[in-house]
Structure 1
Amino acid sequence: MFAIYGTSGLMYRGLAEDLRRVVPTLRSVRTRALEPEFDRPLPALETGTPPNAEHRGSAHVALSAYSQLQRAPVARRPLRNVADVMSRNPVTLSHDMTVRQGWWVLYQRGVGQAPVLGRNGLVIGLLSRAELMQPERLPTPDGHALVWQALMAQPLTQVMLSPVPAVSAEVELRRLALVLLDTGLQGLPVVDDEGRVEGFVTRSDILKAVVHDPPLDLWAG
Structure 2
Amino acid sequence: MLAIYGTSGLMYRGPIEDLRRVLPSLRAARPRALAVETDRPDFADSAFRLMGHGDDEGPARPEATLPRPAAVAVQAYGGVQRPAPQRHPLERVRDVMTPEAVTVRDDMTVAEGWHRLAERALGQAPVLDGQGRLVGLLTRAELLHIDRLPRPEDSALVWRAFLAQPLASVMVTPVPAVTPDTALRRLALALLTTGLPGMPVIDDAGGLVGFVSRSDVLKAVVHDPPLDLWAG
Same fold judged by TM-score > 0.5? yes
Following superposition, the deviation at residue 27 of structure 1 comes to 3.6
Aligned equivalent of 2:10: 10
Matched position secondary structure for 1:58: coil
**Gaps (5+ residues) in structure 1?**
47-53
**1:201 pairs with 2:203:** no
Alignment of 1:43-192 (within 5 A): 43=47, 57-60=58-61, 67=75, 71=79, 72-192=83-203
Q: Structure 2 regions of 5+ residues with no counterpart?
A: 51-55, 65-73
Q: Does structure 1 retain, via aligned residues, the 8 Å contact 2:137–2:175?
A: yes
Counterpart amino acid of residue 28 in structure 2? L
**1:83/1:59 CA distance change after superposition, 3 Å:** same
Residue of structure 1 equivalent to 2:46: 42
Deviation at 1:87, TM superposition (A): 0.3
* TM-score (norm: length of structure 2): 0.82
Superposed structure 1 runs of 4+ greater than 4 Å apart: 43-46, 60-63, 66-70
TM-score by length of 1: 0.86
- Distance (Å, rounded) in 2 between the aligned partners of 1:28 and 1:171: 24
Worse overlay, 91-100 or 67-76: 67-76
Change (3 A) 1:123 1:62: farther
CA distance in 2 between partners of 1:61 and 1:142 (Å): 67
* Structure index of larger Rg: 2
| Same amino acid, percent of matched pairs | 54
Amino acid at match of 1:192: D
Paired residues, number: 211
Structure 2 CA distance for aligned equivalents of residues 68 and 91 of structure 1: 43
Residue by residue over 1:170-220, the C-alpha shift from the partner in whole angstroms, topping out at 9 and shown as x without a partner, is 000000000000111110000112221100000000000011133100024
Q: Tell me how far 1:153 sits from its aligned partner.
A: 0.2
Shift of residue 146, structure 1, vs aligned partner? 1.0
Question: 3-state SS of the aligned residue for 1:135?
Answer: coil
